[in-house]
Chains A and B, each alone.
Chain A
Amino acid sequence: MLRTILVVTLFSLAPPESYGQSSRPSTLEKIKETETITLGVRDSSGALSFTTGYGQYDGYQVEICRRIASDIKSRLGLSNLKVKYIAVSSQNRISLVQNGTIDLECGSTTNTLARQRDVAFANSVFIEEVRMAVRRGSGISSIGDLGGKTIVSTTGSQPVQILRARARGVDIEFKTIYGKDHADSFLLLETGRADAFVMDASILAGNIANSRNPGLFEIVGEPLSLEPIAIMLRRDDPEFKSVVNKSIESLIAQGELPRLWNKWFLRPIPPNGRIMGLQLSEATKQAWETPSDKPAEQYRNFSIESATTHQGGMDFGIFCRGITTGRIMDDCLGSRADHGDTTYLRWLLSAWRWTLVVAGIGFVVALMIGLPVGALRTVVTAKWLAGSLTLFTELFRNVPILVQVFIWYFVVPNFISLFKSVPAYLVVSLGLGLFTAARISEQMRAGILAIPRGQFQAAKALGLSTAQCYRYVLMPVALRIIIPPLTSEAMNIIKNSAVAFAVSVPELTMFAMQAQEETARGLEVYAAVTMIYILSALSVNRLLNFVEIQTRIPGTNNHSNDASAAKAARP
């Protein structure tokens, strides 16, 4: 009875427009009916939200969410409320809240105006400061010291955009690179490939605490920006938002927050008892005194315009926006002279160039290594040589390319110091090249084996040396046979070059992930990038088809790429 009254009361409290917007049940109804609340959590967001293994999640934000869940349980009078966790990423968290897959997102999401158009935010109880981590004694202590330095941040995050905006004010030029995730970004700092890591202070603190030698690093500089981190929830359910906020208010009233802060940021935490060592900031203390859901824009003294219209449909105008100011620029190609800013279109084109460079060099490496290795494998008799050639092939094609590239970039330099100075794009080209070479060598080998043995024997009988046999008889035929599989390898290497973003080459996939975060227009960005990939792959396909036709042995038909046709090509 009580429950019925409660539900009816809650129902009548909901403002009428929420009915107009959608007919789906309110979050509280859903929770009551399913006796389950679903929390969106992160696998690795510092001490805010992380996994402690096997579907268990913990952290400052997660614990607050669990407290809210238990308040909801007693409010709904449920005897049992199951708390379910779903791991989210920065790419999917907003859509998962919008479509109701998760009820509360308890990660490390910044409350921004752009996001407020899609979701609602509870009052912030954690104000993040964006700062820099540097190696101790590097001489960097503020933005002013960054001239000519290399700065790293994480793909798909905001700090770099903030730094760009701030640096413009003080007229400083620096180089920006991006790590695939925070751990990779920190590794770039640790291995000396970057001079400073710009990111949320809690994440910097976490990475430093976790590193082999925390004493080597320090967090410096004035906060570049204040980011109100908040729990995300559905936009069309204000009743649920007020329930969540009430719960947060009571946590504040009970003085629980300082206790939680100590627990997560100043004491040892799982999984291995590290200490974050993040002191309570003035801004966070302020937020506890006057809780609010102000977006980040109201904490900033500089402005980044985000795409304003957000009705359905595509708006490709975003590509004419400046990457620093977010303003639409007259010159869409964004020459640098225009207000010292450049556009997303220009960035996209430069990303395309990087993709082609990496894939192109990679393919040359692959051909230079793969073809000889493949040919050698059909001729060598020495066991050790045959064995090591097979090992080469098996090694490079049986490890995911992402892992290989990472090892070339981060692990190999620890053992061979010569590798430290090799630029990232060459490392990726080499990794892609070897990965593809392993596959090409198999095709080359198969191509040669497809030629009837008699050809080789006939050439030998004519007095040619083995090398001459290969050069003048077998290779010309085999190379023609393998043009079709080489075509797919060439298309593959363009697609596989997407892994270059893992070692901070600013190519198309990195552009896609970073630009969709900055512009909040994922569909347009992905559409443009996908079209460019298709265009590139198809051009390569056409080009190699042309080569195939041009090199075709006259008199053979369309299906010249098999052994019988090659046989028929005898004069």
Chain B
Amino acid sequence: MSLDLSFYSWQLVTDYLAKGFIFSLKLTSCATLFGIFFGVFLALARISKFKSLSRSAATYINTMRAVPLVMLILWFYLLVPLFIGRPIGAELSAYLTFSLFEAAFFAEIIRSGIQALPRGQTMAGLALGMTYRQTVRYVILPQAFRHTTPILLTQVIVLFQDTSLVYAIGAYDWLKGFEIAGKNYGRPIEAYLLAALSYFVVCFALSRLVLILKNRLGMNGASA
């Protein structure tokens, strides 16, 4: 079977792909920002001395990590309206789900970054007369972020690929754009091949960027 190259046209990009690509980008950036924000607090709670706090953070993180994302997406979509008493659109629901889901992953990464630091750092901070808050803010977190930036960014690449799961609630992301074009023109194979290539180009470029960043930070190969 040969490929029907006439399927590939500029119109394909403007009519089907652009809109989905923008949504995937928006979803990725929103989930990254909120995910890291919540993730920091979750990570701090997870390593907190207060048992109840650390336990509830651990429960949250483990549950989020044990459920397939597509199931979470469906759950949020079904359940949130029951709680707040009014419907939320597929896109808003996706933003919410991804932010909360990614927070669990980012939290674990940030925690590993914090725990990899020698205890002495905290002690030194406290010894200098800083409060715990100041120590975390000015000593621990900057170093933890520096060490984990490559892993965080790698997770962002995974996140970008995962946005394709919003098909379950009918949101229109990049992959959906390819699929619908494939369906409405009857050329699914051409559409999927182009999708694979496009995702590869974007994600590969991003992962090269991570590598450059790693080298800049002088830590190539130093993190697992």
Contacts and interface: CB of A to CB of B under 8 A. Distances in A.
B67 A495 contact: yes
A498 B196 contact: no
Given A182-B183, A526-B75, A399 B19 contact: no
Contacts of A91: 74, 168-170
B78 A403 contact: no
B220 to A, nearest CB: 9
A495 B196 CA distance: 21
27 contacts: A43-B176, A44-B180, A51-B184, A52-B15, A54-B16, A54-B18, A87-B170, A88-B170, A95-B87, A99-B81, A187-B188, A212-B186, A395-B200, A398-B157, A398-B204, A400-B162, A403-B164, A403-B196, A410-B192, A411-B192, A411-B193, A414-B189, A446-B223, A481-B224, A498-B71, A509-B70, A523-B78
B196 A533 contact: no
A212 B188 contact: no
A462 to B, nearest CB: 25
A96 B70 contact: no
B74 A394 contact: no
Contacts of B62: 538
A101 B74 contact: no
Contact of B71 (A181, A272, A526): A526
B199 interface: yes
Interface string A143-176: 0000000000000000000000000000000000
Pairs of residues from A and B, 7 with the lowest C-beta to C-beta distance, nearest first: A210-B186, A53-B15, A89-B170, A398-B203, A99-B87, A446-B224, A495-B68
A411 B116 CA distance: 45
B69, B87, B186 — most chain A CB neighbours (10 Å)? B186
A511 interface: no
Interface residues of A, number: 74
Contacts of B164: 400, 402-403
Contacts of A99: 81, 86-87
B222 interface: yes
A402 B67 CA distance: 18
Interface of A: 43-44, 50-55, 86-89, 91-92, 95-96, 99-101, 181-184, 187, 207, 209-212, 271-272, 274, 394-395, 397-404, 406-407, 410-411, 414, 443, 445-447, 449-450, 481-482, 485, 488, 491, 495-496, 498, 509, 512, 522-523, 526, 529-530, 533-534, 537-538, 541, 562
Contact of B203 (A399, A538, A562): A399
Interface in B28-85: 62-63, 65-71, 74-75, 77-78, 81
A394 B170 contact: no
B1 A95 contact: no
B131 to A, nearest CB: 27
Interface residues of B, number: 60
Given A181-B183, A183-B182, A526-B78, A399 B188 contact: no
B200 A495 contact: no
A100 to B, nearest CB: 7
Given A210-B183, A530-B71, 4 more contacts: A43-B180, A398-B203, A482-B224, A537-B65
B175 interface: yes
A84 to B, nearest CB: 12
Interface in B124-178: 157, 161-162, 164, 167-170, 172, 175-176
Contact of A509 (B63, B68, B81, B175): B68
B180 A51 contact: yes
B1 A414 contact: yes
B17 to A, nearest CB: 10
B184 A271 contact: yes
Contacts of A498: 68, 70-71
Contacts of A271: 15, 184-185
Contacts of B78: 95, 522-523, 526
A243 to B, nearest CB: 23
Contact of A533 (B68, B90, B170, B185): B68
A450 B116 CA distance: 13
A182 B10 CA distance: 26
B19 to A, nearest CB: 6
Given A485-B224, A523-B78, A274 B188 contact: no
Given A92-B169, A449-B221, A526-B71, A398 B19 contact: no
Contacts of B71: 498, 509, 512, 526, 529-530, 533
Nearest to B176: A43
Interface string B183-210: 1111011001101100110011001000
B90 A538 contact: no
A92, A509, A529 — most chain B CB neighbours (10 Å)? A92
Contacts of A43: 172, 176, 180, 183
Contacts of B66: 491, 495, 533-534, 537-538, 541
Contacts of B195: 400, 403
Contacts of A446: 221, 223-224
A415 B170 CA distance: 33
A210 B7 CA distance: 12
B177 to A, nearest CB: 10
B108 to A, nearest CB: 8
A367 to B, nearest CB: 17
Nearest to B174: A400
A529 B167 CA distance: 18
B180 A184 contact: no
Contacts of A88: 170
Contacts of A395: 200
A400 B170 contact: no
